[in-house]
Amino acid sequence: MFEKLELFRTATAMATHAGQRQAIVAQNVANADTPGYQARDLPDFKSVFRPADAAGLPRATRSGHLHGSRSGVATAASFTTREEASPNGNSVSLETEMLKSVDAKRQHDRALAIYKSGLNILRSTIRG
């Protein structure tokens, strides 16, 4: 019964997206000096998130169905950013990656706050 609450699905999807974005940012920073490396990023959460009851959208019913994506957040495909490349062909800007990292942390913290708030509401409802 409680595993089907959309609030918790949304919070989980948001935290998952933040973790995926943080991993891509870390990969970009690790390759900041690699010649020819192109910086990557994820689309924002709003464009990736799909509510489970969205009309007309297919939903996965098991992990191997629909490329393993379940309702909520799909495994977002990263894309190459359009940053200006340095003379060696590397397009990673450490300043931009720091900002993306902070944004991902804020998104993750927001997801945790939503989750904790939902739990507190459930607890107070159960207690009466």
- Are 10 and 18 in contact by the 8 Å Cβ rule? The answer is no
Question: How far does Cα 94 stand from its chain's mean position?
Answer: 20
> What does pTM read for this prediction?
0.74
The band of 11, judged by pLDDT with boundaries at 50, 70 and 90, is: very high
Q: Is the pLDDT of residue 18 over 70?
A: yes
- So what's the pLDDT on residue 3? 59
Q: What is the tens place of the pLDDT at every residue in 38-74?
A: 999 998 888 888 765 555 555 555 666 554 444 444 4
Q: Which of 38, 105, 50 is nearest to 74 (CA)?
A: 50
**Three-state DSSP class for residue 80:** strand
Label residue 102 exposed, middle or buried (CB < 10 Å: 0-12, 13-18, 19+): exposed
Residues 89, 73: Cα–Cα separation, whole Å: 33
